[in-house]
Amino acid sequence: MNLTPGVVNAVCPHDCPDTCALRVTVEHGKAVKVYGDPDHPPTNGALCTKVSRYTERTYHAGRLTQPMRRVGKKGEGRFEPISWDAAFELAAQKLKPIAERCPEAILPYSYAGTMGIVQGESIAARFFHVLGASVLERTICATAGATGLKYTYGASVGMHLEHFVDSKLILIWGSNPVVSSVHFWMRAQEARRRGAKLVAIDPYRSLTAEKCDEHIALQPGTDAALALGMMHVLIRDGLIDDDYIARYTEGFAALRARAADYDPQRVADICGIEADVVVRLARDYGTIRPASIRLNYGMQRARGGGNAVRAIACLPSLTGAWRHPAGGLLLSSSGFAPVNAAAITRPDLLPGSPGRLPRSINMSAIGDALCHPGDPAFGPKIEALIVYNSNPVAVAPESAKVAQGFAREDLFTIVLEHFQTDTADYADLLLPATTQLEHFDVHKAYGHTYLMVNQPAIEPLGQARPNTAIFRGLARAMGLATPALYETDEQIARQAFNWRHPSLAHADYDTLIRDGWVKLALPDAPFAEGGFPTPSGKCEFYSARLEREGLDPLPDYLPPYESKASDPALAGRYPLTFISPPARHFLNSSFVNVESLRRPIGEPRIEIHPDDAAARCIVDGARVRVFNDRGEVELIARVTDGARTGVVVGLSIWWKKLSADGRNTNQLTSQALTDLGGGATFYDCLVDIAPLDRMASQAA
Ligand SMILES: Nc1nc2c(c(=O)[nH]1)N[C@H]1C(S)=C(S)[C@@H](COP(=O)(O)OP(=O)(O)OC[C@H]3O[C@@H](n4cnc5c(=O)[nH]c(N)nc54)[C@H](O)[C@@H]3O)O[C@H]1N2
Ligand SMILES: Nc1nc2c(c(=O)[nH]1)N[C@H]1C(S)=C(S)[C@@H](COP(=O)(O)OP(=O)(O)OC[C@H]3O[C@@H](n4cnc5c(=O)[nH]c(N)nc54)[C@H](O)[C@@H]3O)O[C@H]1N2
Ligand code: SF4
Ligand SMILES: [Mo]
């Protein structure tokens, strides 16, 4: 890499499929500019708005720069500074007796604040394994879809980003790439310039949907029905690839029988669209070549999310779209990267390993886990919680219960953070972590197939330390002797990838460090001749593994938990479906505290269709109360036909303490889990809305 002096190669750490290569200009020890690396093909010199403001986040006045101990009440956010030594001593004093008496009473809580392999789950995972702490099931985002893919393709694998430019039809399905994957969107626009048709399948006229050639605004959580309806028409009209099906798929006869139940009119009734639309979409998909699907996780956040991904994933194998590099489907490409997960996280360090696994806790139901320790099936009460790379008090569903759990006086909570987030307010011990500009890491991606290196650009701010250093310090203070706890970041990075894997035959760790990235060597059309990483080597329409687990071996449509079909009484009381997808200039709850990104939005809003607004005497700009049995939140109404009737949209995820009422949309969302993968169901949520003034006058 031929870099000018003062320019450092870095990687965007955020939970975004694009995993951009960054360049950081450093002057006198200070990072003055962060820009997209022009030499890294997926990044192509461009960043999203939020990360081009990275220096504003890094040097923000709110950065935590010293360890702190709680002095106020839980949740109040009042702290006093202490030294690192005192912080580790306090942590050990609290954690050691719990670890000796009942290690499963200790729980990590972490997600993808950084996607780095080293600063993610390396020393941290080893630390919890050595203790024998409860295991966290990391389900809050992608497990429904990932499990759907696993049972269909065998892993999270699919098309390559770079080939979408040659597609002639792109279905952008449950995905808003203008917001959440701008580097894919650039490719989709290029495809369009070359004559492709773009179709958005999304209940909301998102920034992406409004720029597509066609927008199919289905009812949330009904995607599996639409996919089965497309199959019905494709099979009925002979638009399938019999040769591909015969050679490279499993269970076609059974799938044909299932799809026979989903005629276009039935599908139209379920999805709230016209039958013609189902037929036209299927005919386009069956006749325009090459045809691709860009799926994203937005469509799997309802009860049937896993089945919906399975149903959609069957489509390119029915039409043989995989034969062309610009045909097929991409949800996530993370399964291509040969990561040595066991070497990084070391499950062999578990006491009693192999064979015995500690109790596991699903992160998407952390509210119940913290609040209902009395249930015997649940096992020991959680007594200590260590949070890193996540902001659960803002992002986890049914937030009132999450906050109630975090407020427990008998819970000892450590939070590793950049900022004093809503979660940090509940910490007993708040420890300052370094940002990506201050530490070393290696990365894989889930929207392209490069491995990458992040070099530190600047010294840590104040006394901030990398997550790895903080976990080493905790381990030392607790007197843990296991050598794996004390490996350096570099030693961990060296073990991160399996360099003997055929996709890495052309490179090694030293070339990765020298060049800044390595592209995996993979076929352009990965499944042109089958070769799916399933047990059968075929695309499994029918899954014998699901059948053995007592589950439906075929994909099917499961109505949302909170819908007229599943619970008419609830739908009578709360007639509006509420979805809370990502806001453009936030990254989950990250960046909400960056003023230049929050100020243009002002206050959190809810978008409502004019008919739904009129029925409730709601005018544009009115302050409204959005509520259900789990809670309520105050938002500003935006009356717009961008949301289909019956659906309301509140772009997320706000910091509670930066909102007028100290709450956010997760007051409303539920802890129910998806059909496959135990995933969160953020968009399976019924509410009603009332103008605040009318509520006030009714109360008077
Ligand atoms: N700017 C920005 N980028 C982000 C994030 C962010 O917060 N902000 N978050 C990152 C993360 S963690 C993730 S997981 C990814 C992906 O995050 P996703 O949750 O996939 O988000 P989007 O790509 O915005 O796509 C979601 C789209 O799905 C639509 N949708 C909601 N329910 C349904 C449904 O039932 N069916 C269909 N067909 N569509 C539905 C929404 O209206 C929205 O337009 O984005 C990442 N990128
Ligand atoms: N209502 C609603 N809720 C949602 C969603 C939704 O669409 N709607 N989306 C869900 C999805 S897809 C996801 S992925 C989750 C995301 O939830 P989280 O993974 O919790 O994501 P963030 O809110 O970005 O919080 C990450 C935190 O990690 C911190 N962090 C970053 N890097 C580091 C580091 O190196 N060390 C330490 N110690 N901390 C660091 C950041 O400062 C930030 O506060 O939210 C989910 N919640
Ligand atoms: S958030 Fe996504 S688009 Fe923005 S810089 Fe990071 S990887 Fe690139
Ligand atoms: Mo996510």
Q: Tell me what percent of the residues of the chain surpass a pLDDT of 70.
A: 98
pLDDT tens-place string over residues 186-238: 999 999 999 999 999 999 999 999 999 999 999 999 999 999 999 999 999 99
Domain 159-331+536-548 adopts which CATH fold?
Dimethylsulfoxide Reductase; domain 2 (3.40.228)
Burial 352-386 (b: 16+ CB within 10 A, else e): eeeeeebbebbbbbbbbbbbebeeeeebebbbbbb
Residue 182 CB less than 6 A away from ligand 3:
yes
Confidence of residue 693 (pLDDT cuts 50, 70, 90): confident
Evaluate: CB of 20 within 6 angstroms of ligand 3.
Answer: yes
| Ligand 3 pocket residue status of 152, Cβ below 6 Å | no
How far is residue 374's CA from residue 381's CA, in Å, rounded to a whole number? 7
Domains 159-331+536-548 and 568-699 share a fold: no
pLDDT number for residue 373: 67
User: Is 696's pLDDT higher than 70?
Assistant: no
Ligand 3 lined by 14 (C-beta under 6 Å)? yes
Q: What percent of the chain has pLDDT over 90?
A: 96
Task: With a cut of 90, say whether residue 632 has pLDDT above it.
Answer: yes
**What are the residue boundaries of the structural domains of the chain, listed by start?**
7-58, 68-141+351-519, 159-331+536-548, 568-699
CA-closest residue to ligand 3 atom 4:
48
According to the model, what pLDDT value does residue 3 have? 57
Atom 18 of ligand 2 has which residue's CA nearest to it? 390
Protein fold of 568-699: Barwin-like endoglucanases (2.40.40)
Residue nearest to atom 23 of ligand 2 (CA): 589
Residue 2 has pLDDT above 60, yes or no: no
pLDDT (0 to 100) of residue 700:
38
Residues lying with their CB under 5 A of ligand 4, a single-atom ion: 141
> 681 C-alpha vs ligand 4 centroid, how far in Å?
12
Mutation pick for ligand 1 pocket among 180, 226, 312, 607 (CB with most ligand atoms within 8 Å): 180
Pocket test for ligand 1, best of 138, 179, 210 (most atoms within 8 A of CB): 179
CA 145 to CA 297: how far, in whole Å?
7
Return d(Cα 154, Cα 545) in angstroms, integer.
11
Q: Which ligand 2 atom is at minimum distance from the Cα of 581?
A: 7
Whose atoms come closest to the Cα of 420: which ligand?
2
* pLDDT per position as a tens digit, 587-598: 999 999 999 999
Relative to beta strand 450-454, strand 686-691 is unpaired
Fold of 68-141+351-519: Rossmann fold (3.40.50)
- Separation of CA 180 and ligand 1 centre (Å): 7
- For the cut 80, the answer to whether the pLDDT of residue 88 exceeds it is yes
Residues in the chain: 700
Q: Express each pLDDT in 411-452 by its tens digit.
A: 999 999 999 999 999 999 999 999 999 999 999 999 999 999
Is 507's pLDDT higher than 70?
A: yes
Is residue 155 a contact partner of residue 142, using CB atoms and an 8 Å limit?
Answer: no
Helix (H) or strand (E) holding 405: helix 399-406
Task: Answer for the pair 70, 428: CB distance below 8 angstroms, yes or no.
Answer: yes
How confident is the model at residue 356, as a pLDDT? 76
pLDDT tens-place string over residues 161-178: 999 999 999 999 999 999
> Does ligand 2 have an atom closer than 6 angstroms to the CB of 416?
yes
Q: Supply the CATH classification number for the domain 7-58.
A: 3.30.200.210
The per-residue pLDDT for range 4-28, each reduced to its tens digit, is 669 999 999 999 999 999 999 999 9
pLDDT of residue 686: 98
Q: From the CA of 391, how far away is ligand 1's center (Å)?
A: 18
| Residue having the nearest C-alpha atom to atom 6 of ligand 3 | 12
Which tokens hold the place of 522? 């993979």
Look up the pTM and report it: 0.97
pLDDT tens figures, 110-139: 999 999 999 999 999 999 999 999 999 999
**Average pLDDT of the residues of the chain:** 96
